[in-house]
């Protein structure tokens, strides 16, 4: 199949490289000439494990190429994917579809022969209808069908997710699109990946509903973690206890500083706005958005409490900046709100992240970026684990204590067993778990009696 991927960002580049690895001929298109030049030279504009090798190998084979010439690429395509960004629109929270609609107009002008146009970007219900209208209006003679094929890729594990998906959702209104889409994904036949064909609007809603449900699950366990701290329970054991129920499952039940990234924040907001516009508000998602926004700055208050109530004039080492490990993505990362709140309280911030510091620099001002976790912790009155990178899972605690001004470790990802850290002489604070001091009587774990 001759495939064109419009947009060479996270979704477009990963999808395009994987399609090429399946054996398809793929052209990735982007308006950013510098990005295309970098890709042609073998450089990768984003960090995703294994992506550099995949791109270089398939480019060398001739199956994967890059261009700024959208019209030239689309002319010969069997299937054109739209994989451009759909950020939250400034001011109202709706998804900004200007890039999607702009791509549709350019595609329409270049179509020759029957072509399937596929929205790969995350888009609200009804976007496919508008894409179809734009193409028909721009080029009334065009022979085409518009399909929806949302991506379900976890940053840090995107290639594995693409090649071994739980499901492939394809929404169509024109049966002519079915054959080409089946052929696009035919290489996954041996993996027995279920191909779920639906109506187009259903496909669009599946993506939003899936992300909103996962965001809600994260927010649920974070609120349970808060309750655990009040009553002396352990949220990790609670998570395991409920996650063993097959109806619930263990994934996305890890308490922490709140969700971030490129998907959950904007997708929950967009779904919430769509539901409100259709007079069918989703109260659970509205609560999820509100609770998550409040939680990030609440984590800064946890740091303040750990060091005695004030960080004014003190140094805090922040370990991890990206919203999750194995990515350089800083979009809506909890670290942004946490650091801002600590700075507002008078703290000096020293930070280290294995991959995210270049992306963090334009977003975080007056932060000293360190060369390692130990460099960041030098002279610090508290070290805060914000992102659970592998590099932070086996810190040399005796060394850390020696170089810090005050032995305080705030673990917002519950990486360490409390007893291990406290045995090294640290004041240890985690999320939703009692410390040895708490168990000794600092937490009132007795049941509350009704009056």
- pLDDT, one tens digit per residue, over 114-168 is 999 999 999 999 999 999 999 999 999 999 999 999 999 999 999 999 999 999 9
What is the longest distance spanned by two Cα atoms in the chain?
77
**Contacts (Cβ under 8 Å, ≥6 apart) of 427:** 306, 407, 408, 409
State percent of the chain over pLDDT 90: 92
Give the distance from CA 173 to its chain's centroid. Answer: 30
Contact 25, 1 (CB under 8 A): yes
* Residue 434 pLDDT: 80
Domain ranges across the chain:
2-198, 210-442
Q: How confident is the model at residue 54 (pLDDT cuts 50, 70, 90)?
A: very high
Looking at residue 388, the DSSP 8-state letter turns out to be -
The answer to whether residue 28 is catalytic is: no
Bridging pattern class, strands 408-411 and 427-429: parallel
Nearest-angstrom CA–CA distance, 242 and 228: 14
The vertex-305 CA angle with 300 and 310, nearest 5°, equals: 85
Q: How confident is the model at residue 276 (pLDDT cuts 50, 70, 90)?
A: very high
3-state secondary structure of 120: coil
Q: What is the mean pLDDT of the chain?
A: 94
Q: How confident is the model at residue 78 (pLDDT cuts 50, 70, 90)?
A: very high
* Residue 82 pLDDT: 98
436 pLDDT higher than 60:
no
State percent of the chain over pLDDT 70: 96
- Assign domain 210-442 to its CATH superfamily: NAD(P)-binding Rossmann-like Domain (3.40.50.720)
> Which is the catalytic residue, given 18, 28, 228, 263?
263
* Residue 435 pLDDT: 62
Mean pLDDT of 399-410: 97
* Residue 373 pLDDT: 98
Nearest-angstrom CA–CA distance, 113 and 128: 20
Mean pLDDT of 161-188: 96
445 pLDDT higher than 50:
no
Q: What is the CATH number of domain 2-198?
A: 3.40.50.720
The two three-digit tokens of residue 175, written as one number: 């049966």
**HSE value, Cβ hemisphere, 13 Å, CA-based, for 341:** 19
- Please indicate whether the domains covering 2-198 and 210-442 agree at the CATH topology level: yes
Nearest-angstrom CA–CA distance, 22 and 240: 38
Q: Which of 145-159, 189-203, 313-327 has the lowest mean pLDDT?
A: 189-203
* Residue 448 pLDDT: 39
CA distances from 110 to 22, 72, 124, 135, 350 (A): 26, 8, 25, 10, 51
Contact 364, 342 (CB under 8 A): no
* Residue 192 pLDDT: 77
For the stretch 331-364, pLDDT in tens is 999 999 999 999 999 999 999 999 999 999 999 9
Among candidate residues 77, 97, 80, 101, the one with its CA nearest the CA of residue 88: 97
**Contacts (Cβ under 8 Å, ≥6 apart) of 379:** 315, 403, 404, 405
* Residue 91 pLDDT: 73
Among candidate residues 126, 123, 15, the one with its CA nearest the CA of residue 79: 15
Q: How confident is the model at residue 443 (pLDDT cuts 50, 70, 90)?
A: very low
């Amino acid at each position: 199949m001759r495939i064109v991927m419009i947009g060479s960002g996270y979704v477009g580049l990963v999808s395009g490289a994987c399609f090429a690895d399946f054996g398809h001929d793929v052209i990735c298109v982007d308006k950013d000439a510098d990005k295309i030049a970098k890709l042609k030279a073998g450089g990768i504009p984003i960090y995703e494990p294994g992506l550099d090798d995949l791109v270089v190998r398939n480019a060398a084979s001739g199956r994967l190429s890059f261009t700024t010439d959208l019209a030239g690429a689309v002319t010969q395509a069997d299937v054109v994917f739209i994989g451009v960004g759909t950020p939250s629109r400034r001011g109202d929270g709706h998804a900004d579809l200007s890039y999607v609609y702009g791509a549709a107009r350019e595609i329409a002008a270049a179509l020759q022969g029957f072509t399937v146009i596929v929205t790969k970007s995350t888009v609200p219900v009804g976007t496919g209808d508008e894409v179809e209208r734009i193409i028909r209006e721009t080029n009334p003679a065009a022979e085409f069908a518009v399909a929806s094929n949302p991506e379900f890729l976890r940053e840090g594990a995107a290639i594995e997710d693409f090649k071994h998906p739980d499901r492939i959702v394809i929404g169509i209104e024109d049966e002519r699109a079915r054959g080409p889409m089946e052929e696009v994904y035919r290489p996954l036949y041996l993996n027995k990946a279920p191909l779920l064909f639906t109506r187009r609007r259903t496909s669009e809603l599946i993506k939003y509903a899936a992300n909103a449900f996962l965001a809600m699950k994260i927010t649920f366990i974070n609120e349970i973690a808060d309750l655990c701290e009040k009553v002396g329970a352990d949220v990790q054991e609670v998570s395991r206890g409920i996650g063993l129920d097959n109806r619930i499952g263990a994934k996305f039940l890890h308490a922490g500083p709140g969700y971030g990234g490129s998907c959950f924040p904007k997708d929950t907001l967009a779904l919430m706005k769509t539901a409100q516009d259709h007079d069918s508000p989703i109260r659970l998602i509205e609560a999820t958005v509100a609770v998550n926004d409040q939680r990030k700055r609440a984590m800064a208050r946890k740091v303040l409490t750990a060091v005695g109530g004030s960080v004014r004039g003190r140094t805090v080492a922040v370990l991890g900046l990206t919203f999750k490990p194995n990515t350089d993505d800083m979009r809506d990362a909890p670290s942004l709100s946490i650091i801002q709140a600590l700075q507002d309280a008078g703290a000096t911030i020293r930070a280290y992240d294995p991959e995210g510091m270049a992306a963090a620099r334009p977003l975080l001002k007056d932060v000293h970026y360190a060369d390692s976790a130990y460099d960041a912790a030098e002279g610090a009155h508290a070290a805060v684990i914000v992102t659970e990178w592998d590099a932070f899972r086996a810190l040399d605690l005796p060394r850390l204590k020696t170089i810090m001004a005050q032995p305080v470790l705030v673990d917002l990802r519950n990486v360490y067993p409390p007893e291990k850290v406290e045995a090294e002489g640290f004041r240890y604070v985690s999320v939703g778990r009692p410390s040895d001091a708490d168990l000794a009587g600092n937490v009132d774990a007795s049941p509350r009696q009704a009056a």
